[in-house]
Structures are given as C-alpha cells and as structure tokens.
Amino acid sequence: MPPGGLAPGTPVAGRFTKWGGGRHWEWDGRYLGSDEHGHWWYAPVGTRCARPGVEFVEASGWVSLVPHEGAYAVGFYPAHREISIYVDMTTEPVWQRRDTGDGGPEWEVTMVDLDLDVVLTRDGHLYVDDEDEFAEHRVQLGYPAEVVALAERWRDLVLAAVAGGDEPFATVGHAWLRRAEAEEPAPDGAEGAVGR
C-alpha cells in the first residue's frame, strides 16, 4: 500500500497486467483518500483507457478501490451506466513510486488480472463473468494452484459481500464517486458538476 500521507489529488496510475507480464488495462487518475475499506482514486471524464489493441476515451468518470487486504480491484460507475459495480479478481495490488521523468503519475498501483469478475448491473443483476476465460488461462498461462485458489476464494467472498449488501459495495463506493464528481469541473458546454 502507499505510505501514509499520500495527499488527495496526487496522480495515480492504474496498471493491470496478465499472468506472465503481458500488458492489460492502463489508465491514470487522481488519489482521493483512504478509509477502512482501502485506497480510492478517481478517473474523470476524458480518461484514456488502453490495453494492447484497444484504446478509448471514457465519456464518464468512475472511482476505483483497492483494498487494504484482498486480491481484487473495484470500479464504481455513475447512475447512467448499465454496470454499477465491476470487481476484477487479481493478485494483491502493489503500490510503488514511479520515476516521473515521462511526466506521468507519481504513484502506480499494479496487479495481475486473474480473469474472474463479479459484476452488479444497475437493475440488480449480479453475476460472475469470464469463468470460461479463467478456465482457459489457468491451462494456457499456467496459473499455479495457489493463484487459482486465490482467485476463486476472493470471487466467492466478493460475490457474497455484494449479494449481502455489505460495504463498501452497498453505499460507500458510490458516495466516494459522488464526492469526486462534485469536485470535478463541468466539461465544456455543460453546466454544473459532472454526473448531475
């Protein structure tokens, strides 16, 4: 985890890789703060998201959470999005200070994406996604038994927590998002804060 005192507003890079070191999703945001659930950061409207072969600019912002303890990362999305919560099962996230000679964020959080995702849609549909990809990759990429067990354990724990209305999934995550949106300047041509 980042050392204590990481200031809100500090640029943070989110970096997923695949098992074996291949690049996966990458995006930059700004640190919001921490609470009992973990560390929060915000990617505003206009954030560039990229992975090999795919790149786009997000039309809405979102808040990410990496827990103090746990092998997952969560995205909380605004009310107009079909998906409300998206949880990637990962290796335990690692925070490190970056060489900012490239002008990029000062801090980076990295984790290996382990395919399994717990997804909650806006209309309340809760499901596990990419189980077929997980089964395929555990053979093709040679996931060790302990990595398979890690992903399956956290999938089950997160699924139960979301289904049970436990925090931060019930209200806390979207409260962080609303606060971040309220502090964000309106995009060109819009009135008020993003998301209102």
* Structural domains in the chain, sorted by start: 11-181 (2.40.380.10)
Please state, in angstroms and rounded to a whole number, the distance separating the CA atoms of residues 121 and 137: 26
- Write down the residue that tokens 């502090």 correspond to: 183
Please state, in angstroms and rounded to a whole number, the distance separating the CA atoms of residues 110 and 91: 9
Residues 124-167 pLDDT 10s: 999 999 999 999 999 999 999 999 999 999 999 999 999 999 99
- Residue 94 · residue 109 · CB < 8 Å: yes
The predicted pLDDT at position 186 comes to 43
SS (H, E, C) the chain: CCCCCCCCCCEEEEEEECCCCCEEEEEEEEEEEEECCEEEEEECCCCEEEECCEEEECCCCEEEEEECCCCEEEEECCCCCCEEEEEEEECCCEEEECCHHHCCCCEEEEEEEEEEEEEEECCCCEEEECHHHHHHHHHHCCCCHHHHHHHHHHHHHHHHHHHCCCCCCCCHHHHHHHHHHHHCCCCCCCCCCCCC
**Percentage, residues of the chain above pLDDT 90:** 79
Q: In the chain, what is the greatest distance between 2 CA atoms, to the nearest angstrom?
A: 52
Please state, in angstroms and rounded to a whole number, the distance separating the CA atoms of residues 1 and 38: 9
- Residue 142 · residue 121 · CB < 8 Å: no
pTM to 2 decimals? 0.89
Mean pLDDT across 167-172: 97
Supply the mean pLDDT for the chain.
89
Residues 39-98 pLDDT 10s: 999 999 999 999 999 999 999 999 999 999 999 999 999 999 999 999 999 999 999 887
